[in-house]
Structure 1
Amino acid sequence: MAQGLQSPIGRILPRRATAAVTDALGDTRVVLVNGARQCGKSTLVAQIAAEHGAQWRSLDRATTRQAATYDPTEFVADADPMVIDEVQRVPELLLAIKEAVDTDPRPGRFLLTGSARLLGLRGLPDALPGRMETIELWPLSQGEIGEQPDGFVDAVFALGPELRHSSTETRPGYIERITRGGFPEAVARTARRRERFFDSYVADLINRDVLQLSEIERGPEMRALTRLVAARSGQLLVPGALGNDLGLPQPTVKRYLGLLEEVFLIKRIPAWSRNLNTRAVGTPKVAMVDSGIAANLLGMDAESLRRPDRPLGALLEGFVAMEIARQLSWSKQRAELYHYRTRDQVEVDIVLENRQGQVVAIDVKAASTVKAEDFRGIRHLSTRLGADLVAGIVLYTGQQTLPFGPQFRAVPISALWETAQVG
């Protein structure tokens, strides 16, 4: 039995992904829970495995890994159902799993976890198309930490400008949330001990997973790139500019960025365009997957961020973007996350578009007051989208929902996790 049922927080927090994993096991032969190291994958999967009577095998254990490498076919033939933890450490197992489930196609035979995007691994064999469902697990959302609804995405698409929310959260409270992040190990610690966790986490990720995946020996360059990306959170991701700062060729920077994304340290947010404006910029933006890691890489704790001379905007925007990214993994709305910017520097921080072409435009402000000009980018997009714009929202650190026209609202940031699902 896995030991993942122990939690650093002292209690097992319900995860929104639980229902998705359980449903997938009911009709899919192989289910993969993919996400960052120490985000709670093993705890989630251990609970589900216990209910299904599954045998647990962790490839983080050297002996288990050697057995899997020596004879992958025999390794997966021994038990049913089976959990294989950190499957990316022996990717050859996937061919053996494919053979096993093709011979016996019953659903729920294998439940896998991975800490790297399997499709990004070099030399990966057949990735089980049509046989495997992948469910991404992020670090804890604010709603999961506080056991609150986490229903903003569904609510804003359903209600549009009729969404209303009042908040008691304050700017210092948001700063505490940003610097804490969502890793269970970090949530359980004091602020000072949390810094040590973040330092060790990033160092281990680069020294172990990134270098293992890439077969390179450029740890110092990877660490420098990671800090540089954290400093540019919420900005356009331009490999050439990063390469100039680091003294590295652009192809090398592109490869390194891909590796950081494969191990769930960063997330690219693609540019949105519907060919409505030929001046739209197609460059993606970048965000750190966890705001606590981002703040720590920049040497910023809650105390320093509370000082008025310290810029909060980029960290806050990344924090909001990743809370929304988490929600999109379980929301009923099948929407995608984008940003929008023109060559004239008109921009919208976050654009959500669902399968019907409906759009919610969101800007993030690190201020407790909102002005009409804060809706400049959203109004620009509104004139081009017409009826397809469901609502334009400025998320801010104030406490009341305020109207700025028929479709536009200033809404407290805490609406992200305190709003109940609708629809």
Structure 2
Amino acid sequence: MRHGKRDTLPSAGRFLLTGSANLMTLPLVADSLAGRMETLALYPFSQSEIHHQTTCWLDAVFAGNIPVAAEPLLGEALTEAVLCGGYPEALTRTNPRRRQTWHQQYLDALIQRDVQEIANIDKLGQLPLIWASNRLKRVLKSPKLQFVDSGLLASLRGLTSDTLKRDRSLFGGLLETFVYAELLKHTTWAEADYQILYYRDADQYEVDFVVENRAGELIGVEVKASATLTEKDLRGLKRLAVLAGESLQMGIILYDGTEAMPLGEKLWAVPLSSVWGTYPT
């Protein structure tokens, strides 16, 4: 877990771009500093940190212990958490408009100063378009482009609580980003090493996240922005279970509810708030 004061200056390390292209390449230095330096990725606060929980969701699930949602966020409360994101400076601004202003200023400073100094990238005006779009080809167990902060993404897209009330379909992608960021942050304090991937096959079966450990064991994670589930919600996880066989440890649907429910062999519906929950007693 990471505690203490955080800098307020823009930092490229607060973004993670997964995929084959690395837009932010550090400039070459004469000395590699091998063995004399350690690189730490500084992410926004996780919900576990915000709610003062120390459970690693990934370690627990791979061990077969689904955490209990100690402080459930449901409905509008979950929407608000997603819109806020995890940047400490944004979290101190309770007014949504002020929070959006901070996000936009942060992004402007990142593009105009940090990215230009670090990478000397041409066509900086196109960079927000690269981050905002997600048209990468989706392939089996392939990484994909993701934001590490749902609040920043919401501000960039102009999404507010009122917007999401008028069109709930906009919330699904935003919630997926929120969950991705939470899982990513958990990898930084997990006991084991994990890789977060994405599954989609030629028959259009897909799973939002496939997490793999060093032993090749997998868990599948689907994200649903509703309190009710249907058989259709299981189709991707069931296909993954057939292909993965014994490698699949568990398939989980994270949903906007309060109860953990078995849905079949190795398949569970789990409250989304379990991600920052506590170990079951």
Give your verdict on TM over 0.5. yes
Structure 2 equivalent of residue 68 of structure 1: none
Structure number with higher relative contact order (C-alpha < 8 Å, ≥ 6 residues apart): 2
Give 2:150's match in structure 1, choosing from 288, 291, 299: 291
TM-score by length of 2: 0.86
Q: Does 1:415 align with 2:271?
A: no
**Cα displacement (A) at 1:217:** 5.8
Whether the aligned pair in 2 keeps the contact of 1:40 and 1:139 (CA below 8 Å) is no
Structure 1 unmatched runs, 5+: 1-15, 19-38, 44-59, 61-85, 89-113, 239-270, 272-279
Aligned sequence identity (%): 35
Residue 23 of structure 1: aligned partner: none
Secondary structure class of the residue paired with 2:68: coil
SS in 2 for 1:315: helix
**Superimposed CA distance per residue, residues 166-219 of structure 1 (whole angstroms, 9 cap, x where no aligned partner):** 564212111101110111000000222111101100111101111222335634
Show the counterpart of 2:192: 333
Q: Is the 8 A contact 1:393 1:408 kept in 2?
A: yes
Post-superposition Cα deviations, 1:383-420, rounded to whole Å, max 9, x if no partner, equal: 12222111000011111111111210000110001133
1:187 matched residue in structure 2: 91
Partner Cα distance (2:141, 2:53) in 1: 36
Amino acid at match of 1:381: L
User: Equivalent residue for 1:3?
Assistant: none
Q: Deviations over 1:79-102 (max 9, x none)?
A: xxxxxxx8x9xxxxxxxxxxxxxx
Equivalent-residue separation in structure 2 for 1:164 and 1:417 (angstroms): 8
Query: Which residue of 2 is the match for residue 199 of structure 1?
Result: 104
1:369-408 mapped onto 2 (5 Å cutoff): 369-408=228-267
Q: Residues 53 and 277 of structure 2 are in contact (CA less than 8 Å); yes or no, is this contact kept in structure 1?
A: yes
Q: Which runs of 5+ in 2 are unaligned?
A: 17-23
**1:237 aligned to 2:136?**
yes
Where does 1:122-137 land on structure 2 (aligned, <5 Å)?
122-137=27-42
Contact 2:187–2:193 (Cα < 8 Å) also in 1? yes
Tell me the equivalent position of 1:165: 68
Q: Aligned letter for 2:151?
A: G
Deviations 1:33-79 (A, max 9, x none): xxxxxx95449xxxxxxxxxxxxxxxx8xxxxxxxxxxxxxxxxxxx
C-alpha change, 1:325 and 1:344, in structure 2 (3 Å) is: same
**Residue-pair matches, total:** 272
> Aligned equivalents of 2:14 and 2:79: distance in 1?
28
The 3-state SS of whatever aligns with 1:351 is: strand
Deviations 1:244-274 (A, max 9, x none): xxxxxxxxxxxxxxxxxxxxxxxxxxx7xxx
C-alpha spacing 1:416/1:199, structure 2 compared with 1 (3 Å): same
* Residue 78 of structure 2: aligned partner: 174
Q: 1:147 to 1:330 in 2, by over 3 A?
A: same
- Residues 305-314 or 346-355, more deviating: 305-314
Does the CA-based 8 Å contact 2:258-2:271 persist in structure 1? yes
Which one of 52, 65, 73 corresponds to residue 147 of structure 1?
52
Structure 1 length as normaliser, TM-score?
0.59
- Aligned with 1:324 (options 172, 183, 205): 183
User: What is the one-letter code of the residue matched to 2:68?
Assistant: H
Change in Cα spacing, 1:116 to 1:352, as seen in structure 2 (3 Å) is closer
Aligned amino acid, residue 131 of structure 1: R
Instruction: Write the distance in 2 (CA, Å) between the matches of 1:408 and 1:309.
Output: 26
AA in 2 matched with 1:218: K
Larger radius of gyration between Structure 1 and Structure 2? 1
Residue type of the alignment partner of 1:407: K
How big is each residue's C-alpha offset from its partner over 1:115-165, in whole Å with a ceiling of 9 and x where there is no partner? Answer: 799x92133333322332223221000111121234211110111xx5263
From 355, 361, 366, give the equivalent of 2:220: 361
- Answering whether residue 205 of structure 2 is matched by residue 300 of structure 1, we say no
Residue 171 of structure 1 aligns to which amino acid in structure 2? G
Give the Cα–Cα distance (whole angstroms) in 1 for the partners of residues 183 and 274 of structure 2: 11
CA distance in 2, matches of 1:348, 1:147: 30
Check the 8 A contact 2:261/2:270 in 1, yes or no.
Answer: yes
Check whether the contact 2:62–2:249 (CA below 8 A) recurs between aligned residues: yes
**CA distance in structure 2 between the aligned counterparts of 1:202 and 1:306, rounded to whole angstroms:** 26
| Whole-angstrom distance in 2 between the partners of 1:127 and 1:179 | 40
1:353-410 deviation per Cα after TM superposition (whole angstroms, max 9, x unaligned) = 1111111111111111112221111111111222211100001111111111121000
